[in-house]
């Protein structure tokens, strides 16, 4: 299960970074990169810049990656992995 969360988190981080880079590239060309969450047929314009969308998606991806690491650390199979420290009996 942690691998799915890790994959979703990485994809969200990459998508968020791509939106931020797209906003910077379009801003350097003089364009205003925004997404409309309103209804244009009723003249409702709720414009959100790409960098804000990218930041929110990247934050969500970071939460998924951290959650997947937390799940992997707490899973029973993680106790038997080679990276886990072994207890020594004295």
Extract the tokens encoding 53: 């969308």
Please indicate, yes or no, whether the overall pTM of this predicted structure exceeds 0.85.
no
Extract the tokens encoding 51: 């960098």
pLDDT in tens, 41-71: 888 888 899 999 999 999 999 999 999 988 8
On whether the CB atoms of residues 72 and 2 are closer than 8 A, the answer is yes
H or E stretch at 35: strand 34-36
In the chain, the percentage of residues whose pLDDT exceeds 70 is 82
State how far the Cα of 31 lies from the Cα of 1, in Å rounded to an integer. Answer: 41
State how far the Cα of 51 lies from the Cα of 22, in Å rounded to an integer. Answer: 8
């Amino acid at each position: 299960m942690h691998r799915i969360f890790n994959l979703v988190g990485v994809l969200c981080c990459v998508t968020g970074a791509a939106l931020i880079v797209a906003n910077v590239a379009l801003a350097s060309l003089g364009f205003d990169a925004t997404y409309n969450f309103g209804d244009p047929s009723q003249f409702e314009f709720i414009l959100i810049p790409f960098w804000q969308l990218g930041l929110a998606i990247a934050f969500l991806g970071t939460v998924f990656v951290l959650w997947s690491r937390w799940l992997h650390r707490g899973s029973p199979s993680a106790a038997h992995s080679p990276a886990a420290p072994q207890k020594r009996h004295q």
